[in-house]
């Protein structure tokens, strides 16, 4: 398993070895492979792209999309963008926090869910919305939130 991931990482690094300014794109691809960007992966990327390790770390910490902690099986992203805000996103955040017992940025103890709040996922017409992995759920209210969470809990 681990080796398979390492192979994929090496292939990515090879693909980008001649590309100009590849760091952000390589980090994206690496995060797809590992689910997050652990320190040893960052080190390998730095060494292979011949970029100072501190630069890699600086880039990883600058962008909110990059994670340095493993994430749960499902990523729940609650939109707190303006359209969702005026349609009560705050309440949705409260509901989900309470239902899962975790705060944004945290992962549930059983490793099933990671919660994060995001700024607008471009589905404002359906506000308030959340995204679970790549699926968008719109026009949320308490009932819909509960039904949706159940869908994933019982899966």
Which spans of this chain sit near another protein (rule: CB under 8 A)?
20-25, 27-28, 55, 58-59, 62-66, 80-87, 91, 94, 98, 118-127, 129, 134-138, 141-142
Stretch that binds ligand FES, among 48-56, 61-69, 77-85, 95-103 (CB under 6 A): 77-85
Of 4 and 151, the one with the shorter C-beta distance to another protein is 151
Q: For the chain, what is the HEC assignment?
A: CHHHHHHHHHHHHHHCCCCCCCHHHHHHHHHHHHCCCCHHHHHHHHHHHCCCHHHHHHHHHHCCCCCCCCCCCEEEEEECCHHHHHCCHHHHHHHHHHHHCCCCCCECCCCCEEEEEECCCCCHHHCCCEEECCEEECCCCHHHHHHHHHHHHCC
Of 85 and 112, the one with the shorter C-beta distance to another protein is 85
Among positions 51, 59, 99, 121, the unique one binding ligand FES when judged by CB under 6 A? 121
Stretch that binds ligand FES, among 21-29, 58-66, 82-90, 103-111 (CB under 6 A): 82-90
Among positions 82, 101, 109, 150, the unique one binding ligand FES when judged by CB under 6 A? 82
Positions in the binding site for ligand FES (CB under 6 A)? 79, 81-84, 120-124, 127, 129
């Amino acid at each position: 398993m681990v080796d398979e991931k390492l192979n994929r990482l090496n292939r990515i690094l090879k693909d980008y070895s001649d590309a100009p300014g590849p760091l952000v794109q390589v980090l994206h691809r690496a995060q797809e492979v590992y689910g997050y960007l652990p320190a040893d992966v960052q080190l390998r990327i730095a060494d292979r792209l011949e970029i100072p390790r501190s630069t890699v770390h600086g880039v990883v910490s600058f962008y909110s999309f990059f994670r340095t902690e493993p994430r749960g099986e499902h990523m729940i992203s609650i939109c707190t963008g303006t359209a969702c805000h005026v349609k009560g996103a705050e309440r949705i955040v409260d509901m989900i926090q309470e239902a899962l017992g975790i705060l944004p940025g945290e992962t549930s103890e059983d490793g099933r869910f990671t919660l994060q709040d995001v700024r607008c996922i471009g589905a404002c017409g359906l506000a308030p919305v959340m995204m679970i992995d790549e699926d968008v759920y719109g026009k949320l209210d308490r009932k819909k939130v509960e039904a949706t969470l159940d869908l994933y809990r019982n899966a």
